[in-house]
Amino acid sequence: MSHVGVSDTLYNINHECFCLQWKEATWNTPSSDTQRIYTVCQVTKVEVKNWLRTPFIARGDAKRLYIEMTFTMRRCTKFPDPELLQQCKESFKLLYYESDSDIANSTYPAWSTSVYKHKDVIAADRTFTDNNNVVSNIETRDIALTKKGVYFAFFDEGGCTTLLSVRIYYIMCETVTVKFAIFPNTSTGLDETAVVPRNGACVNNAAIEKPPKNLCNQNGHWIFLSGGCKCMPGYEPHNGDKECKGCEVGKYKWRTGSESCLPCPSYSEAPNTKSVECRCLSGYYRNVNDDKSMPCTRPPSKVRNLTVTYHDPSMVNLSWRQPQDLGGRRDLYYTLECLGCADDEKVFYVPKKTGFNTTKVSVMGLEPNSRYKLLVFAMNGVSELSGTKSSSYVVAETDKAVNIKVRNLRLVSADAYQVLLQWDAPNGSHGGAELYEVKYYLKGHKGNTTRAILSQVTSITILGLQPSSEYLFLVRVKTVSGWGEYLKPFSVTTGTSTAKGKEPKITTLDGRVSSDSHQVNKSDSSIGVIAGSAVAVIVCMIIVIIMVVIFLRKNQRTCHEKNVSDCDNLHYTNVQCARLVDGTRILNNGLTLPLFTQPGALKSYIDPHTYEDPNQAVREFTKEIDASLITIESVLGGGEFGDVCKGYLSHHGKRTPVAIKTLKAGASDKNRLDFLTEASIMGQFDDPNVIYLEGVVTKNNPIMIVTEYMENGALDAFLRTNDGKFTVIQLVGLLRGIASGMCYLSEMGYVHRDLAARNILVNESLVCKVADFGLSREIESDDLDGAYTTKGGKIPVRWTAPEAIAYRKFTSASDCWSYGIVMWEVMSYGERPYWNWSNQDVIKAVEKGFRLTAPMDCPEAVHQLMLDCWQKERSHRPKFAAIVKTIDKLIRAPELLRKIAKPRPSQFLNPNMPDLTQLTGIEDWLTSIKMERYAENFSRAGYTRMDQVAQITPKNLENLGITLAGHQKKIMNSVQMLRVQLGGAQVSEGFLV
């Protein structure tokens, strides 16, 4: 706050010249200094009117001026000559006149109290009677001004007054620098309660993060700072948040923010100050997509051990080991170049010619008996920047071709996804046919889609084709003399997936088109029909035999693993989570398992750990995906076993976004087993609220688990990012999806063990799906006592039921407890359960009966359901089917969600939680929850006692200027805890279903 003096010179004018007037005089101060003063003492006259006026005072930026008057006043009762006393007053009047310019003279404005504005009558608090013992008075008044300046006048009507000094000033908020923004001197407002908004300007080398604004109050204090600036790239904070200083040599800062400059990463330097990024040393480079904090890298060295692993008249297979030096990067890929391959249209490469990351490649379509120089280039993300390529080469020779071909290639049958081809054995004296090779690919996509199949007979069925697509087929034969030549490409266009019986189109590359479905004579056609029928009968018989064997073995294994009493009947609990299959509701009413289950009927979960060979579980419960159908787009993060990526799965002509878990290189056998076990578990589930397994890749490295892609990621992070953005109905809808998924799992006889918001995934339609089955196990039986006993390891204490922590036994009832915690996470928008308590404190508090209080704005019905899930006696907890039913009732009757839950005084508190009732004031309380920034807000609003705090509502917080949802939530949680400690909360009435 500043007091700025404007004027201390007074202008003397006497209205009535014949009267005594204000006189200028000299006064000796107590410190022996001399001071010019004005005095008046006309008490022997009647109707005295003495005026004293200041010069014109320009107010500048000030909207309100303060005038401080120091004066003395003689007491009237002690006048030396009472007989001469006509009138005597112990006061004078303060008047003022506003003007936009200096216009006053001896006659204008008129010397009249009706022309001037009356401010106040100035009376003396202390008067004197003895000239040797003079006492002074100080009085201050303030005046709001609307014009550019003002005249002050002192009007005496008969009194002995001496005006010792007059000080005129205004109040302003002084220049301040905060959050790298400067707020200059700002005068206070016109009204006594007014605040003046002021926009700040960023300090040098800072940029606006959010427009800086501040408010200047009437006392000259800055209040309610908002927004601010951040140091620009190349500059870091200095002197707190008041300056931005350039980065030192060897350091950099590449983005605007409050972070300090960082040392240059490896293989880079910053030779100058104020560096935005570090430049790479010679021989090192940075990809445009690399973060500035990443070390500079270099191209890889050349591949090792490049060898020809196979060759024939038209093909060469190469293999190699990855480079010794990867250049510090992980985005290694290879490019192949063939010197001597004249016809690029004829030659093609599998998997492809450029940009592949496998260490094997096949070069096809080569000329027989020819010599080729094949170069393999090892490249990474900076190879193009370096302008150099590391390569190894090998010289390969194709075999001499045998002049022999198969005859009469023809199509027997085809539909949208498969074709059956036949041909005749070749004629000639080269010996009998040993093997046939059928090579095929999508027309126009030779390199990427080429596949080869071997056959020992003159027919083959090719599966997995795309509908409505044109394929080219090439067939050759191998005899004792070697491989023969390929026939000309044979074209077949598959049918559509919906057009049953549509005949495929057959074309050869010489331009001949057949309108018939196949090129065989009548006898050949009959043979094909008979052969197809025989194969179909045999396949059906094999399927029946396999299913019977599996059923019998499953019963036998179950009896070995259970008590004898458990082998009498194979029974299942009644299914209450009914699902629709082809429009029909299927219920299992406790019947024994049929040999052939209905389509979509609920299956029983089989623990992959019961298999002697875990790979058998993988083959039984998962689908193998061709690695060439998977494209990895980006890395989302790291997991326990390797990276988690986003990618695409190409299938039936469609590109489907998927999530891909990869097994890291060098993983142990146990890691590989655990990795694939999770896939074996996921592969058994098919429910809209359980993550769906697309398949696995086990025949190529890296091993992958491919699941559906969930756009919004983990539920806890999603909620924290969208804090306060959903309605209660939407949040309850999320809970309904989770409960439905858990209902499905529990009825399959399955315990999750790690149910938490972090293990729930959310797609773009806000559908929640249960995921992460790394800790899950099979339930021993269908009753409540069925449990899985852990073999050690970490337990997620905050989410785990007390009996599971104490005895390491997990049931669907313990999953129900965890679901209650998930409900609390959802309603609190991803807060950490039990806040910052230690695990031991959580265990002790739960054992003593503590249950989490209702989150802010949580409906009482929802909190009551949480409390039901947290019943100490596990048999009292609801089944998931009942939970789904309860939530459905809430969604159908939203009026049940209007009553907000109140904290319960009977709930125990964390033993380490501070006693809020013992805090001495509002500021101590706010400091204890790290919200001391709002102390002044509470003070201005009149909050001085903790019992006042206990009555605060979210609406009150908004009125106090606390608008951040996270801060509101933190304060209200503490308020709820305070209410419990004060014993003033009311017990809720509960909610019955």
Radius of gyration of the chain (CA): 45
Phi-psi group of 472: left, alpha or beta (phi > 0 → left; psi -120 to 50 → alpha; rest → beta):
beta
CB 319 within 8 Å of CB 307: yes
- DSSP 8-state code for residue 229: E
> Which letter does DSSP use for residue 690 in this model?
B
Q: What are phi and psi of 51, to 5 degrees?
A: -115, 145
Residue in this structure with the two tokens 């006061």, named with its chain if needed: 91
Q: Which residues pair with 120 in a beta bridge?
A: 94
Q: Which residues pair with 308 in a beta bridge?
A: 318
d(CA 79, CA 88): 9
**DSSP string computed for 18-48:** TS---EEEEEE-TTS-EEEEEEEE--SSSS-
Per the CB < 8 A criterion, the answer to whether 818 and 608 are in contact is: no
d(CA 4, CA 937): 29
Task: Identify the burial level of 673 via C-beta atoms within 10 angstroms of its C-beta, where 0-12 means exposed, 13-18 middle and 19 or more buried.
Answer: middle
For residues 186 and 353, give the distance between their C-alpha atoms in angstroms, rounded to a whole number. 71
CA 138 to chain centroid: 63
Give the CA angle between residues 585, 590, 594 to the nearest 5°: 80
User: Which segments are annotated as binding site for ATP?
Assistant: 636-644, 661
Residues in a beta bridge with 651: 654
Cα–Cα nearest to 382, from 300, 316, 466? 300
E strands in 456-508: 459-462, 470-479, 482-483, 490-493, 505-508
Of 156, 312, 607, 754, the catalytic one is 754
State the SS3 of 698-756: CCCCCCEEEEECCCCCEHHHHHHHCCCCCCHHHHHHHHHHHHHHHHHHHHCCEECCCCC
Q: In the numeric block, which tokens belong to residue 966?
A: 């996270």
* Catalytic site includes residue 687: no
Answer whether 75's CB lies under 8 Å from 129's CB: yes
- What's phi and psi for 262, nearest 5 deg? -110, 150
Burial class (CB in 10 A: 0-12, 13-18, 19+), 21: buried
Neighbouring residues of 550: CB distance < 8 A, sequence distance ≥ 6: none
Sign of the four-CA dihedral 54, 55, 61, 63: positive
Task: Kindly state the helix (H) or strand (E) to which residue 821 belongs, with its residue range.
Answer: helix 812-827
What would the DSSP string read from start to end of 546-588? Answer: HHHHHHHHHHHHHHHHS-GGGGS----PPP-S-EEETTEEE--
The residues carrying an active-site annotation are 754
